[in-house]
Amino acid sequence: MIAGLLAATGAQAADKPAEKPAAAQPAAAQTPPQLDAETAKALEAVVAATGAADILQANLKRVAPFLVEPLVKANPGKEDALKAAVDKALGQSIDSSREIFLAGVRTAYVRALTPDELKAAAAFAATPAGKKLIGAQAVINRDISITGQQITKRVADDTLKALKTEAEKSGFTIPKELTE
């Protein structure tokens, strides 16, 4: 069940840790450097413009079905009450985790962008084009992901076809799980 919860939020299972340098820590565990007032204001503008708090809310809302389903199976006829209980508990958990998450988001931006880049990003985010790009980013990312999946399948199919041809010439066997 934990693997399903992690998959629902895009997190990695504990037995498959994300690749990172040995000395790296999660962004929320790191303290960003002190920022001057102008850079701190730009950082907050970027965090607000990107809707980071909404990302947490959306990701964690995906957890609800993984909690509700087994509860309903174990407690038939109480679906509405169980959904309400999960929503309440999840809402409280989200609220108590929001600042920790946002601290991690701030740290990630500070690590990735210089103060001048943060200021430029904040200025861009306030423009009509910046607002449009940020607003459309989820759709853009989804479309890019779909295209990437399609190309990956095509490359895998082409590679398998070439391997089958080579197997016929060279006499090696293609495992059944690769051909199904």
Q: Is residue 107 located within the same domain as residue 164?
A: no
Instruction: Look at residue 32 and give its three-state secondary structure.
Output: coil
- Domain-ending residue, one of 126, 146, 165: 126
Each residue's pLDDT, cut to its tens digit, for the chain (180 residues) gives 444 444 554 554 444 444 444 344 454 445 566 899 999 999 999 999 988 878 887 877 788 888 889 999 999 999 999 999 999 998 888 888 888 999 999 999 999 999 999 999 999 999 999 999 999 988 998 999 999 999 999 998 898 899 989 888 988 888 888 877
* Residue 78 backbone phi and psi in degrees, to 5: -120, 25
Q: Is residue 30 located within the same domain as residue 106?
A: yes
- Where in the sequence is the domain holding 120, given as residue range(s)? 1-126
Q: Is residue 36 located within the same domain as residue 91?
A: yes
Using CA atoms, how far apart are residues 108 and 32, in angstroms rounded to an integer? 9
Quick one: tokens of 1? Answer: 């069940």
Quick one: tokens of 7? Answer: 């998959």
Rounded to two decimals, the pTM is 0.61
